[in-house]
Chains A and B, each alone.
Chain A
Amino acid sequence: QLPTGLYKKVLVILHDSILPYMNEPTLMMDFLTVAYGIGGAISLLALNGLFILIHQHNLEYPDFYKKLYNLLDPSIYHVKYRARFFHLTDLFLSSSHLPAYLVAAFIKRLSRLALTAPPEALLMIIPFICNLFRRHPACRVLVHRPGGPADMSEDPYVMEEEEPSKSRALESSLWEIQSLQNHYHPDVAKAAAVLNQSLSEMEDDISGLLELSAYELFDKEVKKKAVDVPLEFEQVRGLFGKKNDIFAEHFSLD
């Protein structure tokens, strides 16, 4: 009903400037439900108000997790409200009473989407997934399946399936995180390598990682003091003078 910009503005402040001051917060129920159904960033934002209604005002929301599951798409790692969204998702998934298939589906979906994520998001999502494993030990088959089939030709997980229970996530393994062990960013690679070992009992604190920005990451790297600087030993023969230089193939200096 509202233009997108206005929607966003309202939703951003809804949870702490509007809802607490309303006599009947439940009146917002319909508005939020509609907003949640719109999809994209607006859904993400509506989540916050919805959470308050569910949490404090006994709102019954059918298929809440299914909708949340379907909110996950590649853009969640790139949008501005990433921190808020993952903070809430962390809350929603913190219950240990959730069925394993659901959590596994979330894990699998998040890590599948992580294949397109920038490093700052990866540094947040990998500990996030680790925490999920800690809370739901039943999901650990995703990283540790000793008696499984030796070789599969297909990932059993169905990404396109909207229903988490039918996504066959529990039959799959977290190859995505294994791929991320080869990530170019050393910290991401190290974080991903944690899943090779059995996890420690303590949960990681991800609150500090939620707001991590690319520039902060960059700054941290730049400020690191190096003991010595390894050098390229191949003699330079010009700007595009390397062996098999891709640039020489496609770009010219003129």
Chain B
Amino acid sequence: SNPFEVKVNRQKFDILGRKTKNDVGLPGVSRSKAIKKRNQTLLKEYKEREKTNVFKDKRFGEYNTKITPEEKMIRRFALERQQNYGKKNIYNLNEDEELTHYGQSLAEIEKLNDIVDSDSDTEERGTLSAELTAAHFGGGGGLLRKKVSSEQHDEEEGKPKSRKELIEEMIAKSKQEKQERQTRRESALELTEKLDKDWKEIQTLIARKTPKSERKDKEAEKPKPDEYDMIVRELGFEMKAKPSERLKTEEELAKEEQARLQKLEADRLRRMHGIDEEANKKRPSHMSADDLADGFILDKDDRRLLSYKDGKINIENEEEKEEEEGEEEEDEEGEEEEDENEEESQEEFASEDEEDDAADSHSDLESDLESEEEATGNKEEKKDKANENESQNVEKLDPKREAAKSELPYTFAVPESYETFKSLLAGRTTEQQLIILERIQKCNHPSLAVGNKAKLEKLFGFLLEYIGELATLDLPELRTIDKLVLPLYNLCQMFPEAASDSIKFILRDAAHDLEEVIEVKGRATFPGLDSLIYLKIVSLLFPTSDFWHPVVTPAFMYMSQLLTKCRITTLQDVIKGLFICCLFLEYVSLSRRFVPELINFLLGVLHISLPKNQAQGYTVVHPFTPVGKNLELLLVCDKEDLRSWEKQSVPLSIVPRLKETSRTEINHTRLSCLALCFDLIKKCAALYESLPSFHEIMHPIRNLLTQHVPVNEYPEKMQEWYHSALNELENKVKHYTPLICEKKKPVPLKQYTPKIVKVLEFGRKQAGSKKEQERKQLIQRHKRELKGAIREIRKDNQYLARMQLSEIMERDAARKRKVKELLGSLATQEGEWKAMKRKKWKN
């Protein structure tokens, strides 16, 4: 461009790496641009400043650049049609609008369409079609002749044949041609129709036998290759068969399974050592903050909160709700169903808690089940049959049960409350309960409907509660629980979060109860069998070897509390305590973690098996006391009982009803407990032998075993247990290596080399956090924009002033000109008048 129009912004210093945007400016160009823009916008506004009527462009989408022209046209057309629609004469029913295609009436085209032949000469009536017909029909078409004649005409220009004659001739010819064509077409049409008719007659006869060639010919003749075409198309578009995955051999399957298990195991080990990268990063800081701050505020609000949140498993809340719901449901249920249910329930053997709500018991089979059943029945039937055969072959033996089971509906809705859930299972055999649970799971699989996930998550809570209830019965139905664990496991696999939440809630409740009892009475007692079962279930559902686990770690804490806080006053307490010891051992069997409470408790158990008043070389800790009530709880003095004892497993059902059993039995149970204790000591020894202070840990127990236990009085079996435990303790090598700290990374010396910071953008301050930087940036941008806006407004004003000035100038100029004109005309008038006068004078 013109160098005189370029303005260079001179820089005082050259700075390496700096990019400058504004070193060259084109003031003229930009000014003219600005003026142009103002002409288009500001000036217009200025000119129309006192005008109220506006020109509106109502063409559809005229200024909308987003829609394509075609679409715009289509929309406009539609709008137009809409406008016309309904405005016609209401009395004229038949007058439809005319449909067109490429501007031609569709009705007309349709009329001609019955001519099947596609020679298409009707439309093209000009010379070209004539030419075509000539070529096709061979019969010296008019065109040739016409051409010849026209050539002739050209040649013999001067011939006497007049122009009019020629034209008439042409017209006549073309008319003739047209007629011929028409007749020919009609005859062809007739022929084809006849052929069609014949073909149809024959077709039935030679449906199969026609050789291909013939068929092809005929089809070629016929322009309607319907079926064939369709088939060809279909074949063409049909999905090609894809190579499916090869079926795996058993070996491969086994290998895959092994690989899967290995991966899971590796995962478990990683969690056991607690080397979770994220966790490792987060936890330490988290921990310390928690440790200091958390301790004292925790106490109060949590329980209230949860009981609202997890209403599903909260017993107190539940029962209130249940009562209401039960009433409602009674009203709702359909009559025919009630009858059915009555029959069913009569057939079933009455169980303890059934009598009171026999009628109520099946109210949960809501009336909509019936219809569902019909719909899905068939499908489900097959599935379930297969499953039944697989899973329960026991029941086949029992025809009665089979019959009873056949009455089970195939679809179940997920019970909404624990009460309904319980009544659903009440009175059923274990197998039936399993089937019911399985069907509930199947019918309400989360992939089938949206709300199913939440429902099944609730089901887990119900099932857990149900198990707890079974365990707290006078005669705990442990066999049933044993079976019910399976669906529990499956549900847990499906919804780990919900499952962990429910179990955590139960644990929290239990721990809270324990804490309350301790606060009130100062001492706690062991909880019921249900808590123990829950703890056992935790070990079934979750990996207990993890360094930290949302469910298992609280369970550990709870168990530790049980072993340290609960008083040992009866044999049941001992059994429960030993059960928890077993749980501890099971929990840590893989991770080999150290559990001091376990050792303490085992020591205590040994202690209470000894006669009183012995010189002690050991100290027992809480809950056992060197003196007190619970001494000699496990001591058996009866020689007869000692002799008749045989090692047998302790039945868990003994826990709630020990009082009824005979003295001998009690003595035997005591001995069994003692044997169990020996075995646990042995297992502990095996587990902890790698700990550096193994001997210090086991020292009190060994001391007690070697010095105080009256081995010789024990029956032989017991002596075996005793010796195996003692051997396990004694034959460990004492092995101590002095501790050495890990070497610390040396702290680098302070140095005075300049700190080098990477400069990302020049002219911008680097310091400050990201947020601060952003804020600064925003402020700066705001300032810049404000300045720009002020500048623009100023320029606008200048422009407007200029415009006004020029307007005034123009106006003035016009006035001056007019004045001049007037004066001029006056002058000329005057002049003329004077001239006239002078003439007169002359004359």
Contact = CB atoms under 8 A, between A and B. Distances in A.
Contact of B652 (A119, A180, A230, A252): A252
Contact of B696 (A123, A155, A185, A229): A155
Interface stretch (A4-12, A55-63, A89-97, A240-248): A240-248
Contacts of B704: none
A75 B302 contact: no
Given A220-B294, A250-B676, A251-B652, A190 B739 contact: no
A150 interface: yes
B373 interface: no
A144 interface: yes
Given A178-B739, A230-B546, A242-B540, A116 B561 contact: no
B349 to A, nearest CB: 20
Interface in A181-212: 182-187, 189-190, 195-198, 205, 208-209, 211-212
B492 interface: yes
Interface string B269-313: 001001000000001100100111011101100100000000000
B697 A115 contact: yes
B542 A232 contact: yes
Interface of B is mostly: helix
Contacts of B453: none
A7 to B, nearest CB: 17
B677 to A, nearest CB: 10
Interface string A202-241: 0001001101101111111111101011111101101111
A119 B560 contact: yes
A175 B586 contact: no
Contacts of A224: 550
A230 B693 contact: no
Contacts of A180: 594
B283 to A, nearest CB: 8
B302 A223 contact: yes
Contacts of B284: 190
Contact of B693 (A175, A197, A215): A175
Given A154-B736, A216-B295, A184 B595 contact: yes
A24 interface: no
Given A221-B554, A232-B542, A173 B739 contact: yes
Contacts of A216: 294-296, 298-299
Contacts of A208: 291-292, 295
A179 B599 CA distance: 14
Given A179-B594, A184-B594, A205 B540 contact: no
Contacts of A71: none
Interface string B558-594: 1011001100000000000011001011111101111
Interface string A129-145: 00000000000001111
Interface of A is mostly: loop
Interface in B509-567: 511-512, 514-515, 533, 536-537, 539-543, 546-551, 553-554, 556-558, 560-561, 564-565
B557 A254 contact: no
A249 interface: yes
B264 interface: yes
Interface residues of A, number: 87
B140 interface: no
Nearest to B501: A229
B550 A229 contact: yes
Interface in A132-167: 142-146, 148-155, 159
A251 B594 contact: no
Interface string A42-56: 000000000000000
B554 A218 contact: yes
Nearest to A114: B596
B728 interface: no
Interface string B583-621: 011111101111111011000000000000000000101
A29 interface: no
Interface residues of B, number: 112
Given A215-B511, A222-B508, A115 B693 contact: yes
A222 B693 contact: no
Nearest to A118: B564
A16 interface: no
A184 B556 contact: yes
A68 interface: no
B472 to A, nearest CB: 15
A79 B565 CA distance: 11
Nearest to B263: A233
A102 to B, nearest CB: 20
Nearest to B582: A246
A186 to B, nearest CB: 4
B589 to A, nearest CB: 8
Given A182-B691, A253-B479, A151 B737 contact: yes
Contacts, number: 276
B471 to A, nearest CB: 10
Contacts of B685: none
A78 interface: yes
A96 B652 CA distance: 57
Given A214-B565, A251-B652, A152 B738 contact: yes
Contacts of A142: 739
B649 interface: yes
B785 interface: no
Contacts of A230: 267-268, 271, 496, 542-543, 546, 549
A232 B543 contact: yes
A153 B692 contact: no
A251 B579 contact: yes
Given A220-B294, A224-B550, A251-B651, A246 B683 contact: yes
Nearest to A244: B589
Contacts of A174: 739
Contacts of A250: 578, 582, 649-650, 672, 676, 679
B738 A232 contact: no
B482 A240 contact: yes
A159 B496 CA distance: 48
A254 B593 CA distance: 31
B483 A238 contact: yes
Contacts of B543: 230-233
Nearest to B290: A220
Nearest to B549: A230
A87 interface: no
Q: Which of A79, A118, A145, A183 has the most CB of B within 10 A?
A: A118
A143 B735 contact: no
A173 B478 contact: no
Contact of B298 (A78, A182, A219, A241): A219
A25 interface: no
Across the A-B interface, give the 3 residue pairs with the lowest CB-CB distance, nearest first. Answer: A226-B550, A148-B738, A175-B692
Interface of B: 261, 264, 267-268, 271, 274, 283-284, 287, 290-292, 294-296, 298-299, 302, 478-479, 481-483, 485-486, 488-489, 492-493, 496-497, 499-500, 504, 507-508, 511-512, 514-515, 533, 536-537, 539-543, 546-551, 553-554, 556-558, 560-561, 564-565, 578-579, 582, 584-589, 591-597, 599-600, 619, 621-622, 648-653, 672, 676, 679-680, 683, 691-697, 734-742, 744
14 contacts: A73-B619, A75-B619, A150-B737, A153-B735, A175-B696, A186-B274, A189-B547, A219-B298, A219-B299, A231-B492, A231-B543, A238-B483, A239-B533, A245-B586
Given A238-B482, A239-B485, 14 more contacts: A115-B599, A151-B736, A155-B696, A179-B594, A179-B691, A182-B594, A185-B553, A186-B548, A197-B742, A216-B298, A222-B504, A222-B511, A250-B676, A254-B651
